[in-house]
Chains A and B, each alone.
Chain A
Amino acid sequence: MSRSIALLICLVGGLTMLVSPFLPMATGWANDVTDWFNILAAMAFVLGGGSLLKVQLMRLSARGPGWGYSAVTLLAFAVTLWVGLGKVGVVADPSAPMVPWSGKPDDEGSAFWWIYLYVMTPITSTLFAVLAFYVASAAFRAFRAKNLEATLLLATAFVILLGRTFAGVVLTGWLPDWASGLRLENLAVTIMDVFNTAGNRAIIIGIALGVASTGIRLLLGLDRSYLGGDA
Chain B
Amino acid sequence: MSAALDIALCALILGVGLATVVGRGVFRAVIFFITYGLLLAIGWARLGAIDVALAEAAISAGLTGALLLAAQGRLRTMKTEAEPPARARLPAALAGLSVACVLGWAWFALPVDQAPDLSQVLPESGVGNPVTAVLLNFRAWDTLLESVVLLTALVGVWMLAQDADWDAALGPRFHARPNGVLANFGRILPPIGLIFGVYLVWAGADDTGGAFQGGTVLAAVILLAMMAGALQPPSVAHPVWRVGLVLGPLVFVLAGIAGALLSDGFLTLPLTIAKPAILTIEAALSLSIAATLALLVIGPPDDQGQDA
Tell whether A pairs with B: no
Residues of B within 8 A of A (CB): none
